[in-house]
Structure 1
Amino acid sequence: MERQAWQEKVHEIIYEADTPAGKLFDLALIASIIISVIAIMLDSIPSINASHGDLLYKVEWAFTVTFTIEYILRIISIKRSRSYIFSFLGIIDLLSILPTYLGLFVTGQGHYLAIVRLFRVLRIFRILKLAQYLKEASILISALHASKRKIFVFFCTVIVLVTILGSIMYIVESSSNPVFKSIPHSIYWAIVTITTVGYGDMAPITGLGRFIAAIVMLLGYAIIAVPSGIITSELTQAVKNQFNNTTSCPSCAHHSHENDAIHCKVCGEKL
């Protein structure tokens, strides 16, 4: 279905960073995001909340309504709305407004989760046409995407490893050390140790337990190099596919295209 003239105009303003109106809109949007995040942080301070809580509550709702309208306009101004809705930025846009609405039905501090809208300032790389940063960000994302299977296998291997090590530590320590009171608790210790965090809330007291702990610590340092090597390898390959075009597809809103691209590489729409 063909878009109406007003939809094309809205798309140009909201999605395009090359036009004066589009750039002004995006800069205003980023300023609004930063101000709203500052309001959320101030509201979490008890003294400020006690004296200006009502004002900050109204400010938060004003920004939430504004971002909601913007979210709806983003959906209706492109042909393939699903492409935007399920994209990274589309999900972030939705998550940035949901906490405030959920606060109407759920009591507690959940509305502070709206601070995730700070992720939306990532648009600044496209808005200000910082080509070198946009290019590097695109390369990094491409490398992470290409290495996702290897990282998944590595993650599963680590899960199996900490489960086995935690179980062994439980067998060794549980009889004389009340801290290792179950296998899940021991697995927690193995995770903390193998990731080199070392909170110190759980520690072995037997000689064999300390020996195993030393092995786990050394193993943790060795494991750190694995994901680094995977991503570095993919980064080397991703450098060959650099792009810095900020033109947004009118159909799916994808905007990472090669400079000489005529059609969208995702949906095939003419740019």
Structure 2
Amino acid sequence: MSEQSSHKTWRTKLHEIIYEADTPAGKLFDIILLIAILASILLVMLESIASFDEKYHTILNISEWVITILFSIEYIVRIISVNKPLKYILSFYGIIDLLSTIPKYISLFLAGTHALVALRALRLLRVFRILKLARYLGASNQLANAIKASRAKIAVFLFAVLIAAVIFGTIMYLVEGEEHGFSNIPKSVYWCIVTLTTVGFGDIAPETPLGQFIATLIMILGYGIIAVPTGIVSAEYTKASGDKEGKYSDEEHEHIKDLQLNTQCCVNCLAETHQDGAEFCHKCGCKLHHD
């Protein structure tokens, strides 16, 4: 076997372990990675507790550095195991991997920035690969498309709510006045938004009968407001589902339902969710299996 062929085999095996979860080695790697991510987040949380950090600061700091170095090595290995490193670096996961690694190094120059390692929580999105939930991502994409299709209606609705908040806030400022905590219109609008969203912090409350009556109307209106965006998105989701169902026959639906997707990742373009038994990438056409 030539040196070049040996190099290809080494990179291919490394790629399978790091980017795929269908092999025992790949699944073990991802499980260890998730445990390390959870451990690093726990360390940051514990370090934020002053009494705990004062007692175990050295242990926490060393543990964070060990995990950071491991993540740094992993990030470098991910880059060298793909054909197009820049594609990984600029990808969603690539940016998240970088952002979750550099805060600890930055903390050497800027105090307090190490807490940003909590961004590592975003890396837990890889649990979709480990649990083989990729086949269900179509449903999440359908929901995302429904929200996207509803954005104009939702924008108009939010604008109307904002206008209502300004009007009611101004009315409450005139009714209650500064002596009851409604010292200015912006603060009154803030109270109105908090009340409309049914949050109710309780830091400001109307005391006059008229003000309490208006507040009651705003609270009731708030429950109706919560239902409107849900209805808009639900309608678009139902419409999208109906359109999608109309595109396929019953036989085609059964075929699609039986499709088994895996976590195989293309070494060239990093595309995932390939069908079991596929030899070529569904996105770039690159061969998936290497001898």
Provide TM-score, normalisation by structure 1.
0.80
Alpha-carbon contact 2:197-2:222 (below 8 Å) kept: yes
- In the alignment, the residues of structure 2 paired with residue 134 and residue 192 of structure 1 have an alpha-carbon distance, to the nearest angstrom, of 38
The answer to whether 1:25 aligns with 2:24 is no
Residues paired across the two proteins, number = 265
1:148 is displaced (CA, Å) by 3.6
- In the alignment, the residues of structure 2 paired with residue 174 and residue 255 of structure 1 have an alpha-carbon distance, to the nearest angstrom, of 56
Instruction: Give secondary structure in 2 for the equivalent of 1:73.
Output: helix
User: Whose radius of gyration is greater, 1 or 2?
Assistant: 2
- Indicate the residue corresponding to 2:111 in structure 1: 107
Alpha-carbon contact 1:249-1:255 (below 8 Å) kept: yes
Unaligned runs of 5+ in 1: none
Letter matched to residue 47 of structure 1 = S
Alpha-carbon contact 1:143-1:231 (below 8 Å) kept: no
1:16 is displaced (CA, Å) by 1.4
Going from structure 1 to structure 2, the CA distance change for 1:168 and 1:156 (only over 3 Å counts) comes to: same
- In the alignment, the residues of structure 2 paired with residue 125 and residue 29 of structure 1 have an alpha-carbon distance, to the nearest angstrom, of 13
Instruction: Give secondary structure in 1 for the equivalent of 2:201.
Output: coil
Equivalent residue in structure 2 for 1:15, among 12, 19, 32: 19
1:225 is displaced (CA, Å) by 3.0
Going from structure 1 to structure 2, the CA distance change for 1:248 and 1:118 (only over 3 Å counts) comes to: same
- In the alignment, the residues of structure 2 paired with residue 107 and residue 173 of structure 1 have an alpha-carbon distance, to the nearest angstrom, of 44
The answer to whether 1:143 aligns with 2:142 is yes
Going from structure 1 to structure 2, the CA distance change for 1:164 and 1:233 (only over 3 Å counts) comes to: closer
Going from structure 1 to structure 2, the CA distance change for 1:103 and 1:93 (only over 3 Å counts) comes to: same
- In the alignment, the residues of structure 2 paired with residue 73 and residue 231 of structure 1 have an alpha-carbon distance, to the nearest angstrom, of 43
Identity %, equivalent residues = 43
Alignment of 1:119-158 (within 5 A): 119-127=122-130, 130-131=131-132, 133-136=133-136, 138-158=137-157
- In the alignment, the residues of structure 2 paired with residue 149 and residue 92 of structure 1 have an alpha-carbon distance, to the nearest angstrom, of 24
Instruction: Give secondary structure in 1 for the equivalent of 2:199.
Output: coil
1:14 is displaced (CA, Å) by 0.7
Equivalent residue in structure 2 for 1:248, among 265, 278, 282: 265
- In the alignment, the residues of structure 2 paired with residue 160 and residue 124 of structure 1 have an alpha-carbon distance, to the nearest angstrom, of 37
Going from structure 1 to structure 2, the CA distance change for 1:149 and 1:270 (only over 3 Å counts) comes to: same
Please say which of residues 235-244 and 44-53 is displaced more in the overlay.
235-244
Letter matched to residue 266 of structure 2 = C
Residues 26-83 of structure 1 show CA distances to partners (whole Å, capped at 9, x for unaligned) of 2221222222222222222222211210121121112112112212322332234454
Please say which of residues 181-190 and 111-120 is displaced more in the overlay.
181-190
- Indicate the residue corresponding to 1:223 in structure 2: 225
1:146 is displaced (CA, Å) by 0.9
Instruction: Give secondary structure in 2 for the equivalent of 1:174.
Output: helix
Please say which of residues 153-162 and 65-74 is displaced more in the overlay.
153-162
Please say which of residues 216-225 and 22-31 is displaced more in the overlay.
216-225
- Indicate the residue corresponding to 1:38 in structure 2: 42
- Indicate the residue corresponding to 2:70 in structure 1: 66
Alpha-carbon contact 2:173-2:185 (below 8 Å) kept: no
Taking only aligned residues, the RMSD between alpha carbons, in angstroms, comes to 3.2
Going from structure 1 to structure 2, the CA distance change for 1:54 and 1:211 (only over 3 Å counts) comes to: same
- In the alignment, the residues of structure 2 paired with residue 39 and residue 71 of structure 1 have an alpha-carbon distance, to the nearest angstrom, of 21
Alpha-carbon contact 1:61-1:100 (below 8 Å) kept: yes
Letter matched to residue 150 of structure 1 = A
Equivalent residue in structure 1 for 2:237, among 228, 234, 238: 234
- In the alignment, the residues of structure 1 paired with residue 115 and residue 183 of structure 2 have an alpha-carbon distance, to the nearest angstrom, of 35
Alpha-carbon contact 1:170-1:182 (below 8 Å) kept: no
Alpha-carbon contact 2:36-2:67 (below 8 Å) kept: yes
1:209 is displaced (CA, Å) by 4.5
- In the alignment, the residues of structure 1 paired with residue 284 and residue 184 of structure 2 have an alpha-carbon distance, to the nearest angstrom, of 52
Going from structure 1 to structure 2, the CA distance change for 1:154 and 1:87 (only over 3 Å counts) comes to: farther
Going from structure 1 to structure 2, the CA distance change for 1:207 and 1:94 (only over 3 Å counts) comes to: farther
Alignment of 1:60-209 (within 5 A): 60-108=64-112, 110-127=113-130, 130-131=131-132, 133-136=133-136, 138-175=137-174, 176-178=176-178, 179-205=181-207, 209=211
